[in-house]
C-alpha cells in the first residue's frame, strides 16, 4: 500500500495546548499508520516536507446543510433536485477547500450525494447525513406556503419538499424516522422549537409532543442511530433531553438549568453563531424576509452567552455553522466569533475531537493518531496563536488530505 511521510512539521494534537515540533506522521492507504517524535524510517514512502508548518486534524463542522443552497430557503421550492445537486457540489468543494474534511448535514443531504462524494465523483468533505428533517404540521420543517393546503409538489422538482418532512402523532413520527433510516440516515433530525428561516412558526413554539419526540428517539436507538433536535429555548431543550435526544442544535437561548440537564444526560450542544451574524449583515440582499430577520435578532442576542453558559456547566459544544447558500463562504468565521468568549485551542477542539464524538467516530476522526483516517490539514503558521489562518477560503492551508488522498497539496 502506498505510503506518505510528512516531516519537518509542528504537530497539533488537540489534546495538547500548543503544537509540538519534531514529529513525523506516516500515512498508509486511507489511515494514519504511525506518529512519532523520532524520525520514521519508511522505504518507498513519498516524503512531504511541511517546512515547519502545523499539521493538524481536518476540521469538522457538525451543523451544515449542503442542500440548502438558497439564503431564503423558501426559494428552494422553485429549485429542482438536479440544480440543487449542482449547487451543493460547489458548496461542498468550498467546505473542503477551507479545511473541513467532515461535515454533519443536519437535514437535506441524502445517500445519493453522500455516495457521490465517497466515490470521488464530487470533491467534498465526509458527510454524515440526516436525510429529511422531520417536524410537525406548521412547524419549522413544514415546507408549504399558507396557500398550500396539501402536499402539492413532488420532491424531485421542489427542493423545499425534498429536504423536509412532516409527521404528526407518535406512529407517523416513528414511520417517518424509519423511512429516513431506510434511506441511509446516519442520524435523525427533528424540530423541537420554532426557527428563524421559516416564516410562520413562532420562535418559542414547542414543536412535537413529548410522545412524538420519544417515538423518534426510541426508533432511532433501535436502529443504532441517534436524534438531534433543533431547539432554541430552555423549554424546548428540556423536552428534547428528557425524551432521549442526544444533541441540541443552536441552543441560543439556553439557561443554566437546561445546560445542566444536557450535561447530566451526556448530551452535546452544537452552537452556530456565524449564521446569525452573517444573516443580520447580508441576508436581506438574498431575499430573506423582515419576519425572519426579526427572529434572527432575538437569537443573535443569546449566541455568545450560550457558549459561556455551556462552558460553565461543562457541556461539550460542537463547532457548527448552519449557513445557508451563498453565506456558506463565512464557515470559518465561526472561529472568530467564538474567540470573543473562548480560547483558540478550545474552539479547535470543538472543531476536531468534539466533532468526532458527535458523529460517533472518536479516535477515527478529529485526531492524528495511528488507526485514524488520514484526514489532515497543513496550516501556514500556528492556529493556536492566530485563528485567522483558517480564513480566506483556505488560502493559508498548504495541504488538505482526506482519507489519505490529497485534496490540495502546495508542498514540495
Ligand atoms: Zn435548526
Ligand atoms: Zn440547521
pLDDT score for 147 = 86
Q: Strand 100-105 and strand 126-128: pairing?
A: parallel
Q: Considering every ligand atom, which ligand is closest to the CA of 62?
A: 2
pLDDT score for 41 = 92
- What is the Å distance from ligand 1's center to 251 Cα? 9
pLDDT score for 149 = 80
Total length of the chain: 412
- What is the Å distance from ligand 2's center to 267 Cα? 18
Mean pLDDT, 10 residues at a time, the chain of 412 residues: 96 97 97 97 95 98 97 90 96 98 98 98 98 95 85 79 95 98 98 91 94 98 98 97 98 97 98 94 85 87 94 98 96 97 98 98 98 98 98 98 98 86
- What is the Å distance from ligand 1's center to 339 Cα? 23
- Nearest-angstrom CA–CA distance, 386 and 384: 6
The residues near 305 (Cβ < 8 Å, ≥ 6 apart) are: none
- What is the Å distance from ligand 2's center to 412 Cα? 39
The residues near 258 (Cβ < 8 Å, ≥ 6 apart) are: 234, 237, 238, 241
Q: Which residues are registered as beta bridge partners of 24? A: 36
Q: Strand 227-231 and strand 247-250: pairing?
A: parallel
- What is the Å distance from ligand 1's center to 261 Cα? 20
Shortest CA distance to 366 belongs to which of 99, 129, 95, 188? 99
Shortest CA distance to 7 belongs to which of 56, 47, 58? 47
Its pTM surpasses 0.85:
yes
pLDDT score for 152 = 60
Angle, CA 204 vertex, CA 200 and CA 205 arms, to 5°:
60
- What is the Å distance from ligand 1's center to 283 Cα? 16
Shortest CA distance to 22 belongs to which of 58, 46, 55? 55
The residues near 260 (Cβ < 8 Å, ≥ 6 apart) are: 313
Q: Considering every ligand atom, which ligand is closest to the CA of 231?
A: 1
- Nearest-angstrom CA–CA distance, 22 and 30: 23
pLDDT score for 291 = 86
- What is the Å distance from ligand 1's center to 410 Cα? 37
Amino acid at each position: 500500500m502506498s505510503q506518505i511521510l510528512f516531516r519537518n512539521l509542528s504537530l497539533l494534537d488537540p489534546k495538547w495546548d500548543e503544537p509540538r515540533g519534531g514529529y513525523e506522521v506516516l500515512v498508509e492507504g486511507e489511515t494514519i499508520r504511525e506518529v512519532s517524535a523520532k524520525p520514521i524510517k519508511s522505504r518507498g514512502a513519498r516524503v512531504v516536507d511541511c517546512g515547519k508548518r502545523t499539521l493538524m486534524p481536518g476540521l469538522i463542522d457538525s451543523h451544515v446543510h449542503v442542500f440548502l443552497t438558497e439564503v431564503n430557503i423558501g426559494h428552494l421550492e422553485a429549485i429542482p433536485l438536479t440544480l440543487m445537486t449542482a449547487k451543493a457540489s460547489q458548496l461542498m468543494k468550498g467546505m473542503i477547500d477551507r479545511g473541513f474534511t467532515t461535515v454533519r448535514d443536519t437535514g437535506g443531504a441524502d445517500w445519493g450525494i453522500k455516495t457521490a462524494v465517497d466515490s470521488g465523483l464530487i470533491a467534498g468533505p465526509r458527510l454524515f447525513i440526516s436525510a429529511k428533517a422531520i417536524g410537525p404540521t406548521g412547524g419549522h420543517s413544514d415546507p408549504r406556503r399558507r396557500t398550500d393546503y396539501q402536499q402539492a409538489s413532488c420532491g424531485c422538482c421542489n427542493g423545499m419538499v425534498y429536504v423536509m418532512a412532516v409527521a404528526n402523532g407518535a406512529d407517523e413520527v416513528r414511520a417517518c424516522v424509519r423511512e429516513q433510516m431506510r434511506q441511509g440516515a446516519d442520524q435523525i433530525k427533528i424540530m423541537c422549537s420554532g426557527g428563524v428561516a421559516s416564516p410562520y412558526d413562532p420562535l418559542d413554539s414547542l414543536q412535537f409532543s413529548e410522545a412524538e419526540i420519544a417515538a423518534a428517539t426510541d426508533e432511532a436507538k433501535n436502529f443504532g442511530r441517534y436524534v438531534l433536535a433543533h431547539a432554541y429555548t430552555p423549554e424546548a431543550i428540556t423536552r428534547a433531553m428528557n425524551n432521549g435526544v442526544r444533541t441540541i442544535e443552536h441552543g441560543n437561548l439556553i439557561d443554566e438549568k437546561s445546560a445542566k440537564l444536557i450535561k447530566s444526560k451526556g448530551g452535546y450542544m452544537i452552537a452556530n453563531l456565524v449564521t446569525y451574524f452573517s444573516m443580520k449583515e447580508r441576508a436581506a440582499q438574498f431575499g430573506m424576509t423582515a419576519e425572519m430577520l426579526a427572529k434572527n435578532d432575538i437569537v443573535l442576542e443569546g449566541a455568545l452567552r450560550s457558549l459561556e453558559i455551556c462552558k460553565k456547566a461543562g457541556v461539550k459544544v460542537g463547532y457548527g455553522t448552519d449557513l445557508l447558500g451563498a453565506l456558506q463562504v463565512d464557515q470559518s468565521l465561526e472561529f472568530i466569533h467564538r474567540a470573543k468568549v473562548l480560547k483558540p485551542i478550545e474552539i479547535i477542539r470543538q472543531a476536531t475531537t468534539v466533532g468526532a464524538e458527535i458523529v460517533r467516530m472518536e479516535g477515527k476522526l478529529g485526531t492524528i493518531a495511528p488507526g485514524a483516517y488520514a484526514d489532515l490539514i497543513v496550516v501556514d503558521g500556528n492556529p493556536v496563536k492566530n485563528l485567522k489562518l483558517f480564513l480566506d477560503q483556505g488560502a493559508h492551508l498548504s495541504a488538505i488530505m482526506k482519507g489519505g488522498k490529497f485534496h490540495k497539496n502546495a508542498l514540495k
